[in-house]
């Protein structure tokens, strides 16, 4: 099948199979997304990040843990150390590259835990109403009332420092807003005719929630998650900075800033370079989120 016919097949108004219908709707979403330059820019950065993380051993010029005290605190542009070295003489570029693995790891885990928990709580609470709604929403309120970082700190203090515990702590503080969004969406969807119609087929609450309400809530959650991702990266970096996240010598970006802060006046790049990396990735997620909102929001593309 040549390019043009594949395109026609995908854009056909009369799909002939389930697979074609699904692919066609994906393709149309992609066309929509592609026309948004900023979002494509964000996606580009993230794809680049994933590639870097995946091929870290091939790309990194040095071992990220190899210390070389004779070469410590070399400035940017030094021969062999493009982005300089830190206080123990480790190559900053290599650490940055390996650090992207940790960042992605944190981001993926939080993105899997928090919205899913929020979706479950929000849709169940919104669809069932009554007591279930009251109890679930008050629990959500309690979590919302804690300052995020403080609650995360408390969790990490109780569970011990480490990336997994940091992820757990961030997820525990991140889910309530998703529950709120999912519940608000569910309340409007619940009273619609198409939900009434499927109730009249004899479908139970479980089926209605998972097959009819989730697909409509997920898009707004995805948008919200991508927009929140920057905050999550920053929270992870913040925990790392406070010494409660990733532990040395792990090249986590927040921990790298923390390590560099002692020399920030004389050797600014040690803290700045990982800071710039955090900034770039956060920005990329925000741009992606904006683009996804335009594509996924069912209210946005009425015309």
Partner 1 sequence: MSMIAISDLNVWYGQGRDLVNAVRNVALAVQPGESFGLVGESGSGKSTILRAITGLAPNWSGRIEIAGQALAPGRRDREFYRRVQMVFQDPYASLHPRHTVDQVLGETLYLAGLKGVDERITQLLDDVGLSRKFRFRYPHQLSGGQRQRVAIARALAGEPDILLLDEPTSALDVSVQAEILNLLTDLRDEHDLTYLMVSHDLPVISHMCDRLAVMKDGEVLETLSVDALRAMQAEHLYSISLLKASVV
C-beta of 300: minimal distance to partner 1 in Å?
Answer: 13
Among 200, 265, 266, 303, binds partner 1 (CB under 8 A): 200
Q: Exposed/middle/buried for 114, CB within 10 Å: 0-12, 13-18, 19+?
A: buried
The per-residue DSSP string of 244-300 comes to: SSSPTTS--HHHHHHHHGGGTTT-THHHHHHHHHHHHHHHHHHHHHHHHHHHH-TTT
- In three-state form (DSSP H/G/I as H, E/B as E, the rest C), the secondary structure along 38-52 is HHHHHHHHHHHHHHH
- Kindly tell me which of 147 and 298 has the beta carbon lying closer to partner 1: 298
Interaction between residue 211 and partner 1 (CB under 8 A): yes
Span from 36-44, 187-195, 224-232, 256-264 in contact with partner 1 (CB under 8 A): 187-195
The contact pattern for partner 1, residues 12-51, with x = CB under 8 A and - = no contact, is -xxxxxx-xx---x--------------------------
Exactly one of 108, 188, 192, 210 binds partner 1 (CB under 8 A); that residue is 192
Q: Which is nearer to partner 1, 4 or 17 (CB)?
A: 17
Shortest Cβ 264–partner 1 spacing (Å): 51
Total residues in contact with partner 1, by rule CB under 8 A: 25
Q: Please select the residue that binds partner 1; options are 152, 216, 225, 246, rule is CB under 8 A.
A: 216
Which of residues 25 and 37 has its CB atom nearest to partner 1 in the complex? 25
Q: Which of 197, 247, 261, 262 binds partner 1 (CB under 8 A)?
A: 197
Smallest Cα–Cα separation from 121: which of 191, 167, 181? Answer: 181
Which SS3 state, helix, strand or coil, does residue 91 take? strand
Question: Least separation, in Å, of the C-beta of 10 and partner 1?
Answer: 13
130 in contact with partner 1 (CB under 8 A): no
Give the x-and-dash track for 133-162 against partner 1 (CB under 8 A).
Answer: ------------------------------
Provide the CB-side half-sphere exposure for 145 (13 A, CA): 6
Give the integer Cα–Cα distance in Å for 277 and 239. 17
Q: Which is nearer to partner 1, 112 or 197 (CB)?
A: 197
Report the alpha-carbon distance of residue 153 to residue 171 in Å, rounded: 12
User: Which long-range CB contacts under 8 A does 153-158 form with residues at least 24 apart?
Assistant: 153/239, 153/242, 153/244, 156/239, 156/244, 156/245, 157/244
Nearer to partner 1, 73 or 198 (CB): 198
Q: Which of 177, 195, 176 minimizes the C-alpha distance to 187?
A: 195
198 binds partner 1 (CB under 8 A): yes
Q: How far apart are the first and last CA of the chain?
A: 32
Q: Would you tell me which residues interact with partner 1 (CB under 8 A)?
A: 13-18, 20-21, 25, 192-194, 196-203, 211-212, 215-216, 298
């Amino acid at each position: 099948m040549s390019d043009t016919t594949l395109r026609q097949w995908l854009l056909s108004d009369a799909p002939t199979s389930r697979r074609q219908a699904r692919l066609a709707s994906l393709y149309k979403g992609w066309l929509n997304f592609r026309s948004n330059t900023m979002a494509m820019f964000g996606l580009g950065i993230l794809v680049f990040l994933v590639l870097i993380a995946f091929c870290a051993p091939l790309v990194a010029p040095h071992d990220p843990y190899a210390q070389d005290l004779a070469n410590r605190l070399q400035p940017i542009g030094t021969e062999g150390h493009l982005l300089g070295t830190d206080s123990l003489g480790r190559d900053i570029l290599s650490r940055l590259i390996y650090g992207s693995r940790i960042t992605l790891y944190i981001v993926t885990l939080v993105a899997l835990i928090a919205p899913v928990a929020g979706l479950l709580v929000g849709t169940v609470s919104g669809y069932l109403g009554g007591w279930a709604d009251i109890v679930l929403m008050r629990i959500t309120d309690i979590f919302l009332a804690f300052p995020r970082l403080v609650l995360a700190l408390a969790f990490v203090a109780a569970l011990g420092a480490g990336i997994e515990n940091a992820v757990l702590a961030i997820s525990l503080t991140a889910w309530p807003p998703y529950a709120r969004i999912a519940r608000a969406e569910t309340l409007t969807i619940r009273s619609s005719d198409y939900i009434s119609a499927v109730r009249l087929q004899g479908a139970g609450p479980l089926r209605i929630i998972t097959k009819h309400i989730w697909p409509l809530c997920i898009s707004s959650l995805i948008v919200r998650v991508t927009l929140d991702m920057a905050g999550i990266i920053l929270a992870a970096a913040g925990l790392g900075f406070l010494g409660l996240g990733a532990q040395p010598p792990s090249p986590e970006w927040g921990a790298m800033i923390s390590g560099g802060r002692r020399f920030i006046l004389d050797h600014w790049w040690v803290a700045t370079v990982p800071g710039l990396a955090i900034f770039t990735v956060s920005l990329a997620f925000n741009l992606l989120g904006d683009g996804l909102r335009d594509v996924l929001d069912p209210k946005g593309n009425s015309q």
